[in-house]
Structure 1
Amino acid sequence: MSDDPTRVQEFFGARTADWDARFPDDGPAYAAAVADLGLRPGDAVLDAGCGTGRALPALRAAVGAGGTVLGADLTPEMIAEAVRAGRDDAAALLLADVARLPLRDGGLDAVFGAGLISHLARPADGLRELARVVRPGGRLALFHPIGRAALAARHGRRITEDDLRAEPNLRPLLAGSGWRMTTYVDRDDRFLALAVREDDRQG
């Protein structure tokens, strides 16, 4: 599914109507991951692949009224559902491919991405684009409310060695895309990888 943006749109478009209802208890996990991102009042943050915007209220609370919160998603139905849920009060919503963001270089302090990596057509290119829009020293959180094994079991699969989210795969993928991983957690009740934007001018 991740090889074609149109297929990603079709996949999520067909699932939008009951998306939040399918996962009603994820709110605290999202809030905890946002807290771990270490945002400060006044920061500018992007929710990349924001879906129905479940992270947006927590991101807004973290950066305060003086901060900037953007939510970008490829799927029109997801953006529309975020608006219906009132989450556009917390953020400016963009219908955009996170691999080609209409944002200036280095303008953000952080990026939050829930369930993002497995839906990027070209993960390295997508992560490089996220690095482009974040200032040196800025932060990235790759999150899922359940871990890799639990997610695979939910879909009747087993995790495999080629899973991009496995630490031996994700760490070099991030490193080659402008990020340095600082934290990696993969438990049944949480997946969270935190990374810092490297300064291209160093070395």
Structure 2
Amino acid sequence: MTDDHTQVQEFFGARAAHWDSRFAGDGPRYEAAVAAMGLPPGGAVLDAGCGTGRALPYLRAAVGASGTVLGADLTQEMLDEAVRAGRDRHALLLRTDVARLPLGTGVLDGVFAAGLIAHLPEPEGNLRELARTVRPGGLLALFHPVGRAALAARQGRRITEDDLRAEPRLRPLLADAGWRLLSYVDEDSRFLALAAREEPHARP
């Protein structure tokens, strides 16, 4: 296991027990972000870096009882909290690295990822792995329940030019990983970038 993985596990493991209570009001924003994906009934979707599983009930509602919902996270304590909250009723939970998913190629209709991109050790390669699992035309939703400026203020820092979520950086990063940015919203109440999986070899 890499140092990056260990740091992520230590960070989230120490905060897992109080995560939901700390961010208790975020549910409607998660619901709206999932709705924006327009997932098909009966479809298959992955919550990559699902944490305590706050998106899982909304993902299940979107694809229905006949659909497939997977929640993947590297931190066992987060998955334990998801089970404690009963969210394992909505999805199959996997303790796995989203950079090496135990999934076939093109099997998903979409990937939902809340707060994930900031914790990816190799963003382009990791986003390419997510693209591998999604059918052409399927969607990626990069979400955060507050925007970049609000998050930076919460953390006592300034937004820097190397912020991966800045549109001028995110658009080419996604394109190099096999995604086409469709829409980009960065406001105080949410960050949501929607991207479509490109056809293989569609780009020059």
TM-score of Structure 1 vs Structure 2, range by shorter chain: over 0.9
Q: Which amino acid aligns with 1:38?
A: G
Matched residue, 1:178: 178
Matched residue, 2:4: 4
For residues 1-203 of structure 1, the aligned pairs below 5 Å read 4-202=4-202
Q: Are the equivalent residues in 2 in contact too, given 1:147–1:190 (CA < 8 A)?
A: yes
Q: Are the equivalent residues in 2 in contact too, given 1:3–1:122 (CA < 8 A)?
A: no
Deviations along 1:96-132, one digit per CA (max 9) or x if unpaired, are 0000000001000000000000000111111000000
Q: Secondary structure at the match of 1:15?
A: helix
**1:40 Cα deviation from its structure 2 partner:** 1.5
Mapped to 2, the partners of 1:40 and 1:132 lie a distance apart of 19
Deviations along 1:51-73, one digit per CA (max 9) or x if unpaired, are 00000000000000000000000
Mapped to 2, the partners of 1:86 and 1:202 lie a distance apart of 42
Mapped to 2, the partners of 1:202 and 1:3 lie a distance apart of 35
Instruction: Report sequence identity in percent.
Output: 74
Mapped to 2, the partners of 1:7 and 1:158 lie a distance apart of 22
4+ aligned runs moved over 6 Å, structure 1: none
Root-mean-square deviation over aligned CA pairs: 1.1
**1:29 Cα deviation from its structure 2 partner:** 0.2
| TM-score between both structures, scaled by the size of structure 1 | 0.98
**1:201 Cα deviation from its structure 2 partner:** 4.0
Mapped to 1, the partners of 2:137 and 2:150 lie a distance apart of 32
Mapped to 1, the partners of 2:149 and 2:159 lie a distance apart of 6
5+ residue gaps, structure 2: none
Q: Secondary structure at the match of 1:182?
A: strand
Q: Secondary structure at the match of 1:202?
A: coil
Figure out how many residues of one structure are paired with residues of the other and give that number: 202
| TM-score between both structures, scaled by the size of structure 2 | 0.97
Mapped to 1, the partners of 2:3 and 2:163 lie a distance apart of 15
Q: Are the equivalent residues in 2 in contact too, given 1:3–1:120 (CA < 8 A)?
A: no
**1:3 Cα deviation from its structure 2 partner:** 6.5
Q: Secondary structure at the match of 1:83?
A: helix
Q: Which has the higher helix share?
A: 2
Q: Which amino acid aligns with 2:7?
A: R
